[in-house]
Structures are given as C-alpha cells and as structure tokens.
Structure 1
Amino acid sequence: MIKNLFISPPSFVFKKIGVCACYLFGSKNTKDFNEKSDYDLAIFVKSKQAIDYRSVLKQVLNIFKYPEKLHLSIVDLENTSPIFLYQVIKNSTLIYEYKNNYYVTLESMIMRLYFDDQYRNNIYFKFLKQKYANR
C-alpha cells in the first residue's frame, strides 16, 4: 500500500529536506479506513524552526499520489505533545528513516516522553482529586 502512495520514491525528497522519519498513521492503518479517509503523514524533523514549511509542503505534495487527501503533520520531539507523538507511533507504518534502525531510537524516546508525562499527570490529577474531595 505504501508504494502506491507516492509518485516517486519519497526517500529522495525526504533526504533533501532533512526529514528524520516519516510515518503513515490514523485510519489508513486501522480497520476504520474507507474510501473517504484521508492520509495522515507525520514527518519528523530535528527542529521545526530550522525548516521552510512551504518548501516541505510543496515537495511532499509533488510526490504524493493523493494530495487532496493528505493531512501532513511536521513534528519534532521538543515542541510536539507527547500524547500526539505516541498516537503517531502507536498504530502506524514507517515510511522512511534517514538511517537504518533510527525508528528504534525515535520510538523509544517518544515512549519515554509519553510515559514520563503520564506519570506527572497521574500525580497532578491525584493531588487535584484529594484537594477537591476534602472541600
């Protein structure tokens, strides 16, 4: 299915614009997809501030077979919600990685961010629950 998404190999474009990894996620990776479903692509970059959004969008749209159905998310580990990052890798298909097995490092960092965040949230919600239960 992934080979049918691109007019030309995405690795050429992704390498040129500094993409670390790219995932297809969302309904296209589940049994919930249908012909009206869009294509959710998450493009991981080292820093969102270091890229030109218009250039990235233009180049990806030029090689994507269904540009009218593309939902593109450009993400990095510093400025993107750990919850969203986890949702991306949870039910996804890896399309591109800039070096072999980079996805292992990336996904382990995302899981660490996500579960560390969950731990803090659980403590915070427990504190709030106790605070308001005592009123």
Structure 2
Amino acid sequence: ISAHDSDDGDMTLLQVPQEAVGFVTGRAGNFLRSIEEQWCTLMFFCDAGGGGSGRNKDYEKLAIFGDVRGRRGAELLVLSAVETKIPGFYDRIRDEVVNRDKGKDDTGTWGTDTMTFKDDELSYALGK
C-alpha cells in the first residue's frame, strides 16, 4: 500500500510501536474488531510504502479506513492501548495526531484538541 497513491481521503496511517502491536491487535484480532464496530471503520496492519523489510522495524503501520470522525475515534482508542503498554508515547506524537485530520471533513471545520489535567482534576473530569 502506498500512503499517497492509495488515499482517497478516507485513510489514516498510524505507526504502532512493535512492542505494542500484539496488545493493540488483541486475541485473534478482537480488540481491533471491537474498535471497528464501535467507530464504523476498517483497520489492518500493512506494509505501507512497499519497503517489505519484514519484522526488523520499530513500528508497524496500521491503516484505518472510514470517515474522519470514525478514524479519529478509532485512532485515539488504539493510541490509548499503546499508551497503556508504552507510557509517554502519545505525548511524543501529540502534535502530529492533533493536526493530522484538521479541516478534512465536508465542512472544513473538523478538528481535535487536547487538554492536560493535573491528577486532582482528572477525577473531577471523569465524574468520580
């Protein structure tokens, strides 16, 4: 799959660290399938760019297909799973993720924002 040639505006490619791929996939792919169902997306790991370098790489590419909202929801759930396995990963790629699909909906107004909570604010935000 070539990221540029194959993208009709309905694909997000996400780099998943090799050590989190199994966790993200889940037993028999169940974790990815549950996210697909929840967000009406299609997801699979692929060799994006045609490098074909096998398993000797630090990341696997996860292709997420669907509308912009579904892709972002699925992407954030996958990133949450990666963050569980590799704390601090999301913080390193936050700007890339937040800016990736900005304005890419039909109205040109789509966007995602982030907010950092202190420990004592988090329980309030979660309603606990």
User: TM-score if structure 2 supplies the norm length?
Assistant: 0.35
Q: Which has the larger radius of gyration?
A: 1
Greater strand fraction, Structure 1 or Structure 2? 1
**Which structure is higher in RCO with an 8 Å CA cutoff and minimum separation 6?**
1
User: TM-score if structure 1 supplies the norm length?
Assistant: 0.34
